[in-house]
Amino acid sequence: MAVHLTRIYTRTGDDGSTGLGDFSRVSKTDPRLAAYADVDEANCALGVAVALGSLPQRLVTVLRQVQNDLFDVGADLCNPIIGKDQTPPKYPPLRIAQSYITRLEGWCDEFNAALGKLDSFILPGGTPGAALLHTARVVTRRAERSTWALLELDAERTNPLTARYLNRLSDLLFILCRVANPDGDVLWKPGGNRPAEDRPGTKHPGTKHPGANN
């Protein structure tokens, strides 16, 4: 169903409240609002990656589908499953289904199959596209945490598949970060910047080995 926006400002939120999808009003600090606002931010981060990242067309196609999905996630989160008076929504709302998650898992398997073995954690960076996807990945993780926080507080009125979708999406974005670095991953080298004298097994002047006799 198309959404028609005739006015952008309404002044109804000037008291610190906002309307949910079921037409109820809550504070702008409500955990439900925090969850779908973080989802919106993740979508914006993906938009920047698509616009500026010079990504392969296959990745752009996938990410544009994900962006549409994220609007669906936000629509689900902003519309409680039941109202506070225990009544269902007046109109059938959009809900995230298992098929959304299954599609993400298919992409994970597809792209990961072409990557080499990973022997260390990855530093965000490499190409601009990879760096921007890493940013989208961590914002998605934050959106997931906000959604789990909402589920802890209001599980009866929240679809848990929204959080599971975000969890799987962050996995996909990690894989796509690697795809966007065709010349190889930027790997973490634990303690790689420590001075030689601070590395394990190095004797410092004027000190004794712990096993030495006094």
- Indicate the domain borders of the chain: 28-190
Strands 17-19 and 25-27: antiparallel
Closest C-alpha to 38, from 129, 169, 178: 169
Which stretches in the chain have pLDDT values below 70? 1-29, 83-91, 199-214
- Residue 156 has, within 13 A of its CA and on its CB side, a CA count of 7
pLDDT of residue 71: 94
pLDDT digits 0-9 by tens, 161-180? 999 999 999 999 999 999 99
- Give the pLDDT confidence score for residue 195 in this predicted structure: 81
pLDDT of residue 170: 98
What integer pLDDT is reported at residue 199 of this predicted model?
63
User: Count of CB atoms within 10 A of residue 170's CB?
Assistant: 20
CATH number of 28-190: 1.20.1200.10
Supply φ then ψ for residue 24, to 5 degrees. -80, 165
